[in-house]
Structure 1
Amino acid sequence: MFKILKSLSKSLGSSAKATEAKPAAAKEGTLLDKVSKVSAPAAAKAEPPKSPEELCGITPKMSKDEVKAQLKLLFRRYNRSASSLDAKLRSEAERMLDAIVQMREKHFGEI
């Protein structure tokens, strides 16, 4: 039993010395500093709002049938998400559905 306690004290003693050295290294760059440095540039990268054409992936070279097929595909994809419980997913779906309506009115007239 004594040998076990002695080995435990040695192992704990060496880790205590190692933990004393670690705070000195941790003071150089704390986790909070690292997170704040990373999140600040990410917040500054606000994308400009995209046009409905860019959101829907519609180009001027597309025929009416291609536009109709693209809008149909997007509507099926985002109509389900509009009733999602996830607020972020729901807001993205609403934005896309608004863009789909604008493109449909532009290419095919008022609904």
Structure 2
Amino acid sequence: MLNEAQVRPATFSQWQTTTRAPQPRLVNALADAINRAAKAAGRDLYLDPEEARRLAGFVPGPPPVTAVDVRRVIQQNENFTKSQKDALLQIIDGFEAQNTQAAEQQQPERSSPPPPD
């Protein structure tokens, strides 16, 4: 496969022993070679070239998951009745109260300053 991707064995060996990333053209060539070899072997395997570049560090990964406003999602959802929405929101209120109480219990108690002499 290295020959098909036109990668010298010494280059491949260097990749195994160093933290230096391969050149983008070699990453593309390896992805293509892997895909051709898998197809020739009748294997259901495909290495997306974009994924190969991401794994090699040339393309940033997916953006981090952002927080969702659960209350807004529930309130805007047309699949729930008003009473169902109210029940879900009450459950969320309970979770938030429990989390607040747990956080307060984890904080060290603040002592009052000593009275003046």
TM-score (norm 1): 0.32
Which of the pair is proportionally richer in helix? 1
TM-score, normalised with respect to structure 2? 0.31
Higher relative contact order (CA 8 A, sep 6+): 1
